[in-house]
Amino acid sequence: MAIKERLSGNEAVATAMRQINPDVMPAYPITPSTEIPQYFTSYVSNGQVDTVFIPVESEHSAMSACIGSEAAGARTITATSSCGLALMWEVLNVAASDRLPICLSLVCRALSGPININCDHSDAMGARNTGWIQIFAENNQEAYDNMVQAYRIAEHKDVMLPIMVCQDGFITSHAVENIELLEDDVVKNFVGEYEPDHYLLKDDESIAYGPYAVTNYVMEARRAQLEGLRNAKKVTLEVAKEFEAISGRSYGFFEEYRLEDADLAMVIIGSAAGTAKDAVDALRDHGIKAGILKIRLFRPFPSEEIAEALKNVKYLAIMDRCEDFNGSCGPLGAEVRTALYNKNLHPAVINYCYGLGGRDVTVESLTSVFRDLQKIQETGNNGEFYRYLSVRE
């Protein structure tokens, strides 16, 4: 039976971690993810988990400790944000190349500078090509559900890769919402025990992690890693189907909201998707065929499936909560346009950079994006492809 609760996103994620009961949690505090290890240490102190909690001197040390414990065969978890993730950069790549299914709760926050502690996706997008699986949540319920599913995806024998479970700093991490929790034993049975085939301390097997790779092997290692990432797509859907059976909540690579007959559409990630849905509802009330594609799985990027979902859209806005500094598009803009191009689909597209450093994202501001699409529809003039939303020029 579902347990109805009122929890912040951070507490919801920490609750899922408690129910999973990992073997090891190395962590170092950074706003706005600090509450997650803070809640978790209380579970350790109260004897609610068997986890060994390791306080370390930096985020680089936290991820290094994760690599050590996971390589030794222990299910390992951590949490961070922003510059904490950036300090882990070097070892994020090591964790992925060593095929270690570490779980990291990433509470998205702007990277410095200028110094800012509020939400955007510059931390997650900066780490998008480190070889980690990345799943995003719109709200607290999704943050909890994604965490429950994470290890089942990462630890699958055909995947064996680390995973980031991403939510938006303060907007979901500190806001309290009504959510439904699964019972402890249901989560425990769903996640199961971690029993790796190969690990560093296995008595009857000699194995090395992270050895120097000579020229003859690096490309093969990368290719094998890519295959694991590709396999994560199929596994993500399989795990989601099993999760639906125990929770009643359905997940996929993305959510299509009023997209079936949409002429105007928006692709978006994270908490702003809820605001975008309100904008779409209001536009629909006025007879405007608007819709949303909300990305859940960003790595591996489900390009073929996204192109299929958008194949009938004529005018498209792609929303990036991150500046990629290439001068022409954001990271999501590049991914979606490539997916469309590869399927020979050519809707009129504009790419927006929005919400940086916690800039408010309102129904009115997102409605203005659809109004811009209408102008293109009426005039046939695409205008500037890459734009900023709600900025003082």
| Average pLDDT of the segment spanning 15-30 | 98
Q: Which residue has the tokens 């912040």?
A: 8
- Average pLDDT over the chain, rounded to an integer: 97
pLDDT computed for residue 393 by the predictor: 87
Q: How far apart are CA 159 and CA 162, in angstroms?
A: 9
The letter for the amino acid at 231 is N
- The token duo for 168 is 């938006």
User: Do the domains 3-247 and 254-388 sit in the same CATH topology, yes or no?
Assistant: yes
- The domain made up of 3-247 is a member of CATH 3.40.50.970: yes
Residue spans per domain, the chain? 3-247, 254-388
| Average pLDDT of the segment spanning 216-224 | 95
Which segment of 54-58, 201-205, 329-333 scores lowest on mean pLDDT?
A: 201-205
Q: How far apart are CA 337 and CA 69, in angstroms?
A: 40
| Average pLDDT of the segment spanning 253-262 | 98
Q: Write the class of the CATH domain 254-388.
A: alpha beta
Start-to-end CA span in the chain (Å): 53
41-50 per-residue burial string, b: 16 or more CB within 10 A, e: under 16 = bebbeeeebe
Q: How far apart are CA 109 and CA 124, in angstroms?
A: 9
pLDDT surpassing 80 at residue 268: yes
Which of 16, 79, 75, 5 is CA-nearest to residue 43?
Answer: 16
DSSP 265: E
Report residue 195 CA to chain centroid gap: 25
pLDDT surpassing 80 at residue 354: yes
pLDDT surpassing 90 at residue 211: no
DSSP 159: T
Q: How far apart are CA 84 and CA 78, in angstroms?
A: 11
pLDDT surpassing 90 at residue 76: yes
Task: 215-224: list long-range contacts, CB under 8 Å, 24+ apart.
Answer: 221/97, 222/97
| Average pLDDT of the segment spanning 189-204 | 94
